[in-house]
Amino acid sequence: MKQLWTIQDWKNAYENKQIKLEDLFDYVKSISNDDHAWIEIASTAQFQTQIDQLKNQDTDLPLYGVPFAVKDNIDVAGFHTTAACKEAEYLATTDATVVAKLKKAGAIVIGKTNLDQFATGLVGVRSPYGAVKNSFNPEYISGGSSSGSSVTVAKGVVPFSLGTDTAGSGRVPAGHNNIVGLKPTKGWFSTTGLIPACRTIDVISIFALTIDDAWAVANIMQGYDDADVYSRTHPANVPTQFSKGKIAVPKQLEFYGDIETEKAFSIAIERVKTLGYQVEEIDFTDFNQLAQALYNDAWVAERTVAVEKLITRDQAHPVIAQIIAQADKFKATDALQAEYNRAELARKINLALTPYDALMVPTAPTIYKIMDVEADPIVKNSHMGAYTNFVNFADLSAIALPNVIRADGVPSGVTFIAPAWHDQALANFAQKWQAETALTLGTSEQNYQKTLEIQSNNSVKLAVVGAHLTGMPLNFQLTTRLATLLKKTKSAANYKLYALKNTTPPKPGLQCDAQGQSIELEVWDIPLANFGAIVAEVPAPLGIGNVQLEDGSWVKGFICESYAIQDATDISHFGGWRSYIQSLKQNNATSNSTKTGEVIS
């Protein structure tokens, strides 16, 4: 089972009868904790309970029998929750909402993972259960606070795990361990069953070896939850792909003297260009100011509230106690002013990002050895948040991705950051990124392979054949509704295309006909909330129906009423509207040339 790295690997092994559910008992017993990644590994009884619940389920479940790990500030029924504080420990009687969804999809929890106590830290060393060791070099930090969750994925113990992310805890560990860290838009995943760090900006995050696995898990976890007061409904009004052709990078970059990470980021910039994007520098002053507010302003009181609901300060890890004690110097008026400042900076940041598909930053500016962090815990930790702390404050989405393995053998990652709800656009780009890096997955020798199409229920695929094609007069009706081009393809071989009379601008009509042929078309992805506005603009005799593509799949598409083709011209032999329009231009040019010749002669 150690050779089963991705979700698809596990699913294939079950399908091919290479493994069965009962094999997981011995697998779990074989798990070592010499890297301090685990706080609680499933006992036989804890495991048997889940197996029994799964035995009568359909083996076609999307995550049937797939093991995963859960950060130990997230509740799993029958397991203890500690938040890496023994004094705060309790036995969870119900699953966190996202855990329940994953179990319903067939996944099995095999343990709870270590973390910086109360999810306060980005280093992975602030735990009474030991400092979690980097999966590539045990002398180095794993990153935190979701330290154990990242290492269990990087080492292939589980194909995915749950972390949390308040200020980078779902990204920094991904960067330090050569894996993917999906930090969702706030409110997309329920946080019911999570011990909060900063409740207003906490999210539960996903670690995986590939963006495909992370996205598959995200689609199961996502959804509004009445029980979570910070849960939000997806607006379905955002683009599902990058379309602006530009990526921003910070003008002011800080690596704290780490030449290797600086080199790694330069490589990332060149890779972005190779993928066809312009790279532009933007002023990072507002981003830095917002990042610094997390621990240097009244916001630190949110952590104090969370911790002191469970324990007294003297029971906390010494560094954590020092951090939460800072709340004592702030007043209620300071908290209000901090929120005003946050809102102002967040607005500036979002406006600054408007011209770009995303902002790319180093996931962390450097990496330290465990002994160095223990000697200087506050300052070294603060360095880790240079490019992460502002993200949730500004209500942004983000994906941390592998970039390079440095000359010293440890990974260095980058993070792509976009506005709220642009998670799908980030994921689509991440597939291209992982394919281009050609890095092995985590600590394995496997390379990235695309296993799924990044899609959701928040958009509609629409086939266009005429005036809405790229460069045509009505294409703006799509682009102004944030539609993005998915692909250029053809219809199935049973359609005819007609040039309609008396239409402005000129339009074709598409009809299904057994005597037809394949017609060139484009498939666009329309945000669901914007689809109605496009449909409302469709004039008679056209309408929106279903169109079959040459690969056999069906999408929505422009079709035509039968009465309109009675006096229309069959132009199917041109193969598509674009070729027909080009033929008209050529005929006009020939006609004009002939007339000119007659005048000259």
For 68: left if phi > 0, alpha if psi spans -120 to 50, otherwise beta; the answer is beta
Helix (H, G, I), strand (E, B) or coil at 439: coil
Distance CA 499, CA 509 (A): 6
466: tokens are: 């005429």
Give just the sign of the alpha carbon dihedral 96, 101, 103, 104. positive
Query: Phi, psi at residue 553, to the nearest 5°?
Result: -80, 160
Helix (H, G, I), strand (E, B) or coil at 124: coil
Report DSSP state, residue 299.
T
71 classed as catalytic: yes
* Residue from 127, 121, 201, 118 nearest 382 by CA: 121
Q: Which of 135, 145, 205, 459 is catalytic?
A: 145
Distance CA 153, CA 443 (A): 9
Tell the burial category of 233 from Cβ atoms under 10 Å away from its Cβ (0-12, 13-18, 19+).
exposed
Q: Which of 71, 101, 103, 380 is catalytic?
A: 71
Q: Which of 149, 150, 169, 572 is catalytic?
A: 169
Q: What is the secondary structure of 554-579 as a DSSP string? A: EEEEEEE-GGGGTTSEE-GGGSSHHH
Between helices 423-437 and 211-221, what is the axis angle to 10°? 160
Tell whether omega for the bond before 527 is within 30 degrees of 0, i.e. cis: no
Number of H helices, E strands in the chain: 19, 21
Query: Phi, psi at residue 457, to the nearest 5°?
Result: -95, 15
Q: Which helix H or strand E contains 434, and what residues bound it? A: helix 423-437
Q: Which long-range contacts (CB under 8 A, 24 or more apart) does 513-518 make?
A: 516/572, 517/493, 517/572, 517/575, 518/490, 518/491, 518/492, 518/493, 518/550, 518/575
Q: What is the secondary structure of 21-39 as a DSSP string? A: TTHHHHHHHT---TT--EE
* Residue from 64, 48, 158 nearest 103 by CA: 64
Q: How far apart are the first and last CA of the chain?
A: 85
Distance CA 377, CA 371 (A): 10
Helix (H, G, I), strand (E, B) or coil at 533: helix
Do the Cβ atoms of 517 and 549 come closer than 8 Å?
A: no
247: tokens are: 């990526």
Helix (H, G, I), strand (E, B) or coil at 314: helix
Place of tokens 């509004």: 224
Report DSSP state, residue 130.
-
Active site residues: 71, 145, 169
